Amino acid sequence: MEDQGIIALFFARSEQAIEETDKKYGGYCYSIAYNILGSREDSEESVSDTYMTAWKTIPPRRPSYLNAFLAKITRHISIDRWRKRNAKKRGGEEIILALEELGDCVDGSTVETEMARKELTALLNCFLSSLSETERNVFLSRYWYMDTVPSISEASGFTQSKVTSMLHRLRGRLRKTLSEEGYL
């Protein structure tokens, strides 16, 4: 079923909307959740929570890209679940590493207002559009989907060293862009 048909089912408050969403995007959402959580049970719960959040927000929202809308919800829910699960313990898990790598580029205190968030989003979109398709795929794999360097290496055909180096250079370019625009 096409995305607009699924969205129409949400607007009609038909429970079939959840079934169709699960058929089309269940595996996609699960992989995002699993990359963050590393647990089958927690990932399944995150996906279920994603469907519930979509049910509550469609309507009134009508997402232009249902896959991106669901990915964003899944990612936020999974990160929140990961933070709650790991609130008292500090481990060397991949998500800490990925978030710390980007932490050098983005200062959370500068993004407190909605306007600043919108400006930063536009700036990040501009930065991403300036990258080659390969660079963009590697960057998003790491910092959006929270993929590990070895899995990015395997998917891209690059060595782990090349992926690590590419990510380092891309973070430097992002840092420079953010600095030039007054975010750092």
Q: 54 lies in which domain range? A: 3-85
Residue 99's pLDDT is: 61
Which stretches of the chain are DSSP H helices?
3-11, 16-37, 40-57, 66-85, 94-103, 114-130, 133-143, 149-156, 160-180
CATH number, domain containing residue 156? 1.20.140.160
How many angstroms from the chain centroid is the CA of residue 157? 22
CATH number, domain containing residue 60? 1.10.1740.10
Last residue of a domain, one of 85, 107, 126: 85
pLDDT digits (tens, 9 = 90+) for 155-184: 999 999 999 999 999 999 999 988 887 766
Confidence of residue 92 (pLDDT cuts 50, 70, 90): very low
Confidence of residue 110 (pLDDT cuts 50, 70, 90): very low
Q: What count of residues does the chain have?
A: 184
- The overall average pLDDT reported for the chain is 84
Last residue of a domain, one of 64, 85, 106: 85
Judgement on whether residues 69 and 110 belong to the same structural domain of the protein? no
Alpha-carbon distance 12 to 19, whole Å? 14
Alpha-carbon distance 120 to 178, whole Å? 9
Check if the beta carbon of residue 51 is closer than 8 Å to that of residue 21.
yes
Above pLDDT 70, what percent of the chain? 82
Last residue of a domain, one of 51, 85, 119: 85
Judgement on whether residues 80 and 42 belong to the same structural domain of the protein? yes
pLDDT over 80 at 95, yes or no: no
pLDDT digits (tens, 9 = 90+) for 52-73: 999 999 988 898 889 889 988 9
Judgement on whether residues 175 and 111 belong to the same structural domain of the protein? yes
